[in-house]
Structure 1
């Protein structure tokens, strides 16, 4: 099993970390570590996230931080579709 971030997800992750790094570099590192740990969890437990209203799409929260990782389980990979702060509106 492998993990793949879509281009939008990679861009979202970069934006989140850049935003946090400008305000609190130590906090940005902690969020980055937690998001990495959450994605690592998905490699070992692909169905750890909750089902969403969209068929085949799951969501894992990166607690204690308010970030949601939206993903899909494919045959040989976990595809990360998006990473967003839960206070932000989802994109259509």
Structure 2
């Protein structure tokens, strides 16, 4: 099984890391490593994330950091759809029935 990032997910990650790096380049590296480590767990445990309103999308937290990884389990790959800060409006997050 492979992990594939959508373009919006890559943009989310870049935005997060750029924002953190402005205050702390070392902090951005730590957050990036944690996000990558959590996503790496999906290869061994693809169903570890919580289900969302959309039955195809799951959500995984990056504790101790407040980011959420939204992903889908495909037959040959895990698709990362978004990486968002947990404090953002949940209405616009993947997995919400009314999100576009």
The residue aligned with 1:72 is 72
What TM-score, normalized to structure 1?
0.96
Query: How many pairs are equivalent?
Result: 92
> 1:26, CA displacement in angstroms?
1.2
Structure 1 portions without partners, runs of 5+: none
Structure 2 portions without partners, runs of 5+: 93-98
The residue aligned with 2:86 is 86
Instruction: After superposition, give the CA deviation of every residue in 1:2-54 in whole Å (9 maximum; x if it has no partner).
Output: 00000000000000001100111111111000000011001111001011111
1:25 correspondence with 2:30: no
What TM-score, normalized to structure 2?
0.89
**Structure with greater contact order relative to length (CA < 8 Å, sep ≥ 6):** 1
Runs of 4+ with deviation above 3 angstroms: none
